[in-house]
Structure 1
Amino acid sequence: MSKYQKLQDRYTALLQLNQLSIDCADLNALLEQVHHAIAGVMSANNFYIVLYDQTFSTLEFVYHVDEKDEMEPRKYALSEFEGTMTSYVIETGKALLATPEVITQLEQEHKIDPVGIGTAGVDWLGVPLIDDGFVIGVMAIQSYSAETRYQESERDLLEFTAQHIVTALTRLQDRGRLKDAVDARTRELMQQIRDREKAELLQESLYRISELTNDPDLEIDTFYSLVHNIVGQLINAENFYIAKYDAKNDELFFAYFLDQQFNNDDGYYKPRKLSNHFTELVLRSGETVLLDQQGMVDLHQKGITIKPETDVLSWLGVPLIHSGELLGAMVIQSYQQSVFFTEQDAELLRFVSRHVASAMKRREIANDERKTYELLEHQVKLRTAALEDEIKQRKVAEEKLKHAASHDILTGLPNRAVFIDLLNRAIARNKRHPEFKFAVLFLDLDRFKVVNDNLGHHAGDNLLKEISTALIDVIRDKDTVARLGGDEFVILVEDIEGSEGIFEVAKRITSLMSLPFMIENQSVFIGTSIGVLFNNERYDSADSMLRDADIAMYHAKDKGKGRFEVFDSSMHKEVQNALSLESDIRKAIDNQEFIPYFQPIVQITDGKIIGFEALARWPSDKRGFVYPDDFIPLAEETNLVMAIDLQILEKSCQQLMLWQQRLGLDHLYVSCNLYCNHFFNLSLPQDIQSIIDKTGVQPHQVRVELTERALLENSDVVLDNMLALKRMGVKILLDDFGTGYSSLSYLHRFPMDVLKIDRSFIHKVHERGNHQAIIKTIIDLAANLNMATVGEGIEHEADAQLLKSMGCDYGQGYYYFKPLPGDEIESFLLSKS
């Protein structure tokens, strides 16, 4: 072949390779055609392409044709190829034309081993595949014949080919990721549609039950029947009964039942003294009981219950409890192999039980009230005639005196004394009649001081009058608006049916106060913050209720003003507890009280421990053992968590070094959570490097975890910090993946090594098909992005096996190990060594 013909063939091959990198839609087809094109211009009977995963130090032969050797299409550890020319090209990042003379020189320089894969031929030519400065693989050809030798021109051609292969690989990977993302989003939307339909049916059914519960004229037997009908639309409730408990006589009778197998003729639903039936199991425990046939048999064999009926295959019972009083039980059972009840059915039945118990108790109370009312009505009629004249004579005078003593001079509203009296009466009435409900709204004007300071006190007085009139228009006639003083108002809303009505009143007031008031020909914007407090049996005085309503109002101001907040019992202690806890946290940081607990992370294929997640724990000298949920939120709010994180990271590294020295375990690593603000601080890499230098651990033994929030704020600073950590050799894990923003855009942009799948998807995933689809998508996505995956919160063997089958790399959770202090972990590691 002439010199010019060779040049023409190479030019044609180069054009063909360039077009392949653009047109080819399949990796295998691309690699096969690349081989064909190269073989057209040089001897390439022995040709392979291997991809290198830097994160996991693995090799994968994606294409391999050889006259003598065969390579399985699987991933190999890079260590298996140590001393080979393939490994040499990966390490150097440069092409290698290895003639026998070059091979001998490399062996003498100990850069390759005398015996290794790829050293048995005459000439070997390999070039690196480089993407964005990183070696991602090797393409190589080899000659076993002295007649076939390679020159620099073949090396140049192979290097040029490598660039096109990298381009095509990147394009194909991007196309695959996009397709996976679109497919995952489509499946997610379809699941959302199905879930929404289920939720709408559930909401409608529960609303109908609520309507039945609030109908005082509905006969109890009819109520039971309608409840059964509604429950039957949500659960298979063909066999349903409500058993009522008579605590005085320790008896059980069936207020309602409908059963396919049993009836009163066979005595199944006759009243009885409490015994050891399954219904009594619910009554005695006061808890939901969900059993299959084997579970019922086991209870019988243990002597706890009677022998179950052979026809009963699934049994679900919930207690009927009202205000701590046990009224009875509600039960459904199945005689069909196709019908088995679940925890979701149990949760629904528990919800329904509260409404049924409320209806039963309300009818008892209503009956007692009716009798009392009839007696009082008779007595009132006897007294009314005698007192009527006296009342008429004194009424006018008393009303004038009361109004003067009980109303605010400026606004004409009831004053504090009157409101206190009305509120105490409402409290007393609620004590006598628990079904009587009421609420207090505590209002404070947000910008009243601005009006006073700028327009004067006269304008402020006029504004208070306007607001008083507006508030009266918002409430019902039977409710009370009062002025406590200054710019503080309170509203007593009595005889309420639920919280929603109160929320509507609060919303109307905040909306009204957001509008301008015309004061002295000038628009004034005022706004208000409202504390909402519902009655509760713990309140014995109006002063204590006003205090808590005031606390709720200040919470509304703290959260941005122009809003309302409902009092929570925790608010009362929150301020004092927060101040005390903050002081103790600061002292604990100074005293080095925070210590790491270690939860092992295992290789999911064989359960081998590869590292630990270090979790902050606080054995306080003052408070005893303080759980993370009790101090982490405040530590984050006050930014003290920054010091805690670095303290835990340093102690974890110290512990890792002790294990290496005592046990010789050099393969382990520690992974620590870092609060997102760490990544907003440019000193983070120096902080971590200082800890590494101080403790003596290797950078690759240190991993840091961050949440998605850190990626969405100050993204440029965060990216700089992450790149600096990567250069140090520290690996980066994205924690709780799937619960936040979860955008493909930041997964491409930020250099993460590992995705940790959030425990909310893992928990009982073997029972949740929709979660299985999400987890599979995350695992595949991570694999496509060359990231590892860790399943968090694994508690069941079935979940572990399912994650293993999906290809999840690592796992952690109580199924494997719970978090333990360092000495207990060391004892465990010592026992396994």
Structure 2
Amino acid sequence: MTDSLEPLSDANADLAKESIALLHQYQQLQDRYTALLKLNQLTSDCADLSKLFTQVHRAIAAVMSADNFYIVLYDQTLSTLDLVYHVDEKDHMALGVYPLSKFAGSMTNYVIATGKALLATPEVIKSLEEANKITAVGTSGIDWLGVPLMHDGFVIGVMVVQRYSADTRYQESERDLLEFTAQHIVTAITRLQDRKRLQAAVDARTRELMQQIRDREKSELLQESLYRISELTNDPDLVIDTFYRQVHNIIGQLINAENFYIAKYNASNDELDFAYVQDQKGVNSHQFFKKRKLSNRFTELVIRSGETVLLSQQDMLALHEQGKTIKPEPEVESWLGVPLIDSGELVGAMVLQSYHSATRFTEQDAELLRFVSRHVASAMQRREVADYKRKAHELLEHQVKLRTAALEDEIKQRKIAEEKLQHAACHDILTGLPNRAVFIDLLNHAIARSKRRPSFKFAVLFLDLDRFKVVNDSLGHHAGDMLLKEIAIALMQVIRDTDTVARLGGDEFVILVEDLESDEVAHEIASRITELLSAPFYIDNQSIFIGTSIGVLFNNARYTSADNMLRDADTAMYHAKDKGKGCYEVFDASMHKKVQNALSLEADIRTAIAEQEFVPYFQPIISMTSGKVVGFEALARWHNEQRGFVLPSEFIPLAEETNLVMAIDLQILEKSCQQLKAWQQRFGYQHLYVSCNFYCNHFFSLSLPQDIQAIIDKTGVSPQQVRVEITERALLENSDVVLKNMHALKKMGVKILLDDFGTGYSSLSYLHRFPMDVLKIDRSFIESVHDRDNHQAIIKTIIDLASNLQMETVAEGIENLADAQLLEAMGCMYAQGFYYFKPLPSKEVAEILASNV
């Protein structure tokens, strides 16, 4: 009996050991599961990379030996390694960015080069060293285990654990665990890096907007101040001392003006008279502010130079040491003076002083005070004139009471006022020239006179300023009005006494040249005007080049009304503009013909739409990674039986002007979809798509989604194979309607491309608000990309921005291999251009598809 029990006891013991081993394995699996679950949660919840690496280390250390642990991030473009986390028993390295060469020959570098995990035992390390694949770097250990951090097939870093003792050895299971962990870390890293880049872009835009707001508030305050100064001059009951005090108060809202004075200059006797003084500390005695002849004080620097003077205490002392001024008061820390100039005449100076080191005037203060000073000087002169008129009026009233003869003066003044009213009704208020109504009347009289006297010859010159809108937009309407006045004066000096200059409105002038002895007289006047207006005009001390285009029309028996003559003169003027501006053109029958040709072309376009004459040409779009065709941009082409092949540059502008381009766009989209469906049935390619340009007005119509859906249903293509290209102009107008249409197209599955990105009013707000899928980089950046570094920076920024916003990028206008290689290196996804293919008819595209896309 004893013999039979002994084997049973041994079996129980073995069973117990096996159970303990199984429990140990179960506990290990449970620990790993817990660690992996924690890692998965970390990649979703963690918002800080440094905290992520610390918690990853803790999680790994919970399931395997990881006393020695580090993570490096690899930048392939810069060839650098960023040591973002490092814990080691023996080696100590500072966190930061190192050149890749510092890790040459290391196992870390080996993992980066191979893109594969490495479990390096002493035997493996010896073998790699003998093969010259690694060299000893750092303190040698027993086991070294490193796995690559992979993103989109590229190594972006390495995660490493190692041991210096042989108590516990790394196995394949630890390698698998570390590789699995690496996938989660890459997800977290890319997510946090994308968030950081996006946040940086948002912060930069926010700062830009805040600066714009501050600039706008400052501008509004300045405009309000100028308006208030103007209001002061129009208050007849405001005495001059109160006027100066309120001007001081207004300026004090723009600049620190605690110490302020206005000095008036009388050029006839070379004297300064201090009209207003507010000095907080009273450093200067009352003797200083008495009327005086010009001397060697600091105010005189402004008067004599007619320029702004900005001085520190050191500057003032230097001027004194040079013998140019008196010794300055020691309390004055900063001094700013600007001249008061009205209509080119120096009338005084306006001065600010500071006695505190905390207040020092800047060039910006000087510019602001200089700008305000122009209005103050004008207001002072008008105020003084108003005061003078008020006193004169008071004197006149007193004289009326004394003498009844003053009634005759009142009647006379009324007559003058009536004459002024009559003059105002017939003349332009701004320039004083005859207005349109007067000119029409004079022109009709000239036409009637030529009917009575056939020998009577005259001409009409129609002028339009070439760059007037630029002046208004850049310098403001005030400068524009001053320029119009100067031009009116100049035109009056050019014409003869018998001729008439009138302003029709805006920047349009007309001249009636009568009693012509020959046509050459009108040609000579037009030439003189062209030459005169090509020279610069000076407005507010700034030179302005304006130029003019002139249409010349001679009288003819066929003209019976002034309106018809003005119409043809206007037509001749537009021909001058089309010819290049800054010249004149004489109206002739060919101009009629050009108008008729435009009408004929419009009629042919309408017929071509009805007859389905517009056909798509297809320019392939290439994947820069695979080199294969992924889709096509469809471009409108037109062949007409009478006209032959009509270039897009000839019919597209007129089609857009007449809005016929919308019908052409839909016709091209439908034919492109039909052709794409035919290629799919013939060659079996399902990944190809077609992209069509749509005129901006399409997006202003709520029927756009239904129009496109009808074409998709009719042709049988998938919505995902249809793309619509939109320009930035469409995003500026009717944005709510555009946004609604874009959301409807996205819901259908149609992708939307933003064409010519970067050439218009590009804004990050568009990319966040409007649901775009693809950014098309305009060819203007590609054409000079090797000559202009800023174009490379712009392209790289667009590509990175699109990547961060999960958009695709297409580069247009690739003309050579160098362009293609550069765009591919920058990370651009797709490209099109003559380097790959020019726009092709469908037959030639079929030959390409037949040779395997």
TM-score under structure 1 normalisation?
Answer: 0.50
TM-score under structure 2 normalisation?
Answer: 0.49
Question: Relative contact order (C-alpha < 8 Å, sep 6+): which is higher?
Answer: 1
| Higher-Rg member (1/2) | 2
